[in-house]
Amino acid sequence: MTEKTLPLPPDPPLTERAYRYLAEVIYRRSRIRLGPDRRAFMAGRLAGRLRELGCGSFDDYCRLLDTPPGDHEAERLIELVSTNHTHFFREPAHFNYLAEEVLPRADERVRDDGRDLQCWCAAAASGEEAYSLAIVLAEHARNRPGLGWQVTASDISPRMLARCQAGMYDSGRVRLPRPEWLARYFRRGFGEREGVYRVKPDLRRQVTTTLINLFQDTYPLNTPQDVIFCRNVMIYFDEPSRQILVERLFEQLVPGGHLFVGHAESLLGIRHQFRQVRPAVYQRPAS
Ligand SMILES: C[S@@+](CC[C@H](N)C(=O)[O-])C[C@H]1O[C@@H](n2cnc3c(N)ncnc32)[C@H](O)[C@@H]1O
């Protein structure tokens, strides 16, 4: 007898009321703003989750969010509607500017202060951006004995951070500007890990992963930062939220430190005290 697979029941419809409720939960927690045109997108992203949880309707799902431990589900909800797209050396001009202009000056500053150079990758997703930063820093430090440096990689999504921490990427995704960096910073997987490259432990140790919602009350960063990459996340926030975020990032930088945002995200319309030094690169004045 051949086994027949039963057709899946149709996905429950996402009513306007349930959509508004979910969009509000997402906004309150993450500041990600989903407009009225995103209803079909949300229904598509959540259909599988409702099936997993055995929720027959979006009203059931909303009730689940409302009852303890709804917090955990709200985290999952945000992960499901977030865009995590990223890749190594995305927007490469930023990494060139970092290597050629920013690091040599930051270098002098940290030596004068007698401390390590600190970089924060503030919406790191699965980690490609944080490791791109780490590679540029490692290359910079190669000829500078005694220069200590760290990268903090953070994101709102625990799943993304777990991937960042693991540092394992399909070989096709590891595209680097210099071919020699592959052998220097990655190990090729064998057997079960065929087709996967893993960031070498020495480089992984330089990258600390921390769960940070950019709108949480305080950031658990112990020291001021020389460089902050906060790219391709502000586009999901509305202007009042971007205003708050930019002020907070300014405070997090040392005087003379640099903020990199995505090329599609200028600080236009935001009141700020930064000096723009390149497209999508801003510097906190030195004094
Ligand atoms: C498109 S990815 C950007 C990745 C990387 N910065 C890049 O430019 O390639 C956006 C990331 O922002 C994160 N995110 C969204 N809202 C956030 C928030 N309120 N706090 C921290 N991270 C957030 C998402 O989880 C996602 O991983």
CATH, residue 275: 3.40.50.150
Beta carbon of 153 within 6 Å of any ligand 1 atom: no
Beta carbon of 163 within 6 Å of any ligand 1 atom: no
- Whether 73 and 99 map to the same domain: the answer is no
Q: Report the atom number in ligand 1 closest to the C-alpha of 155.
A: 22
**Of the ranges 4-13, 91-100, 251-260, which one carries the lowest mean pLDDT score?**
4-13
Using alpha carbons, select from 278, 284, 287, 285 the residue that is nearest to residue 93. 278
Using alpha carbons, select from 223, 222, 88, 75 the residue that is nearest to residue 155. 75
- Whether 43 and 96 map to the same domain: the answer is no
Looking at residue 268, its pLDDT comes to: 87
- Answer whether residue 167 is part of any domain: yes
What residue's CA is closest to ligand 1, atom 27? 125
Q: Report the atom number in ligand 1 closest to the C-alpha of 214.
A: 20
- Answer whether residue 11 is part of any domain: no
- Whether 63 and 105 map to the same domain: the answer is no
- Whether 50 and 138 map to the same domain: the answer is no
Last residue of a domain, one of 77, 109, 130: 77
- pLDDT surpassing 70 at residue 8: no
- Answer whether residue 225 is part of any domain: yes
Catalytic-residue membership of 59: no
Looking at residue 73, its pLDDT comes to: 92
Residues listed for the chain: 287
Beta carbon of 129 within 6 Å of any ligand 1 atom: yes
| Mode of pairing for the β-strands spanning 281-283 and 253-261 | antiparallel
- Whether 141 and 188 map to the same domain: the answer is yes
Provide the terminal-to-terminal Cα distance of the chain, rounded to the nearest Å: 80
- pLDDT surpassing 60 at residue 140: yes
- Whether 29 and 139 map to the same domain: the answer is no
- Whether 65 and 99 map to the same domain: the answer is no
Q: Report the atom number in ligand 1 closest to the C-alpha of 160.
A: 27
- Answer whether residue 176 is part of any domain: yes
- Whether 131 and 214 map to the same domain: the answer is yes
Last residue of a domain, one of 77, 102, 117: 77
Q: Is the separation of the CB atoms in 209 and 166 below 8 Å? A: no
* Cα-to-centroid distance, 257 and ligand 1 (Å): 21
Q: Report the atom number in ligand 1 closest to the C-alpha of 230.
A: 6
Bridge partner residues of 120 (DSSP): 152, 228
For a pocket test of ligand 1, which of 91, 155, 219, 237 has the largest count of ligand atoms closer than 8 A to its C-beta? Answer: 155
Q: Which long-range contacts (CB under 8 A, 24 or more apart) does 246-253 make?
A: 246/270, 246/272, 246/274, 247/272, 248/214, 248/219, 249/122, 250/274, 250/284, 252/120, 252/219, 252/221, 252/224, 252/225, 252/228, 253/224, 253/225, 253/226, 253/228, 253/284
Beta carbon of 213 within 6 Å of any ligand 1 atom: yes
- Whether 53 and 155 map to the same domain: the answer is no
pLDDT in tens, 216-256: 999 999 899 999 999 999 999 999 999 999 999 999 999 99
Domain total in the chain: 2
pLDDT in tens, 85-97: 999 999 999 999 9
Written as six digits, the tokens of 53 are: 């949880």
Written as six digits, the tokens of 150 are: 């760290």
- Answer whether residue 99 is part of any domain: yes
Question: 219 is in which domain, residue-wise?
Answer: 92-283
Looking at residue 9, its pLDDT comes to: 66
- Whether 216 and 96 map to the same domain: the answer is yes
Catalytic-residue membership of 242: no
* Cα-to-centroid distance, 157 and ligand 1 (Å): 8
- Answer whether residue 270 is part of any domain: yes
- Whether 72 and 110 map to the same domain: the answer is no
- Whether 249 and 135 map to the same domain: the answer is yes
- pLDDT surpassing 90 at residue 213: yes
Last residue of a domain, one of 77, 103, 121: 77
